[in-house]
Amino acid sequence: MNMQSIMAQAQKMQRDLQKKKEELNKELFPGKSDWVEVVFNGKKELVSVKILYTEEITQDDKEILEDMFVLAVKDAMNKIDQAF
C-alpha cells in the first residue's frame, strides 16, 4: 500500500465515525426505575422525565416535580462539564 491509499482509508474511517456519532446523537436512550422514567439523547442530554408513582401527589405536583428533576440533572451535568 502506498501512503496516498492509507491516507484515503484514514479519511474514510474518520467520515464514517463522524456519521455514526451524528446518528447516535439523534438516538434516544430510555432509562426506567419503579418510580421514574428518563430519556437521554446520544449527547447525554436529558430529554424528558416522567414520574410513574403518583398515588400521593397531585397532577400539578407531578408536573412540577418532573420539571425540577430535569433542571437538577441539567445543573449537575453543567457542573461536570465545567470541571473538565
Predicted confidence at residue 9, as pLDDT, reads 93
pLDDT for 11 beyond 80: yes
pLDDT for 49 beyond 80: yes
Q: What is the pTM of this model?
A: 0.65
Q: What's the rounded Cα separation, in Å, for the pair 66 and 74? A: 12
What is the pLDDT averaged over residues 37-49?
Answer: 87
- Per-residue buried b or exposed e for 53-82, using 16+ beta carbons within 10 Å of the residue's own CB: eeeeeeeeeeeeebeebeeeeeeeeeeeee
What is the pLDDT averaged over residues 33-42?
Answer: 86
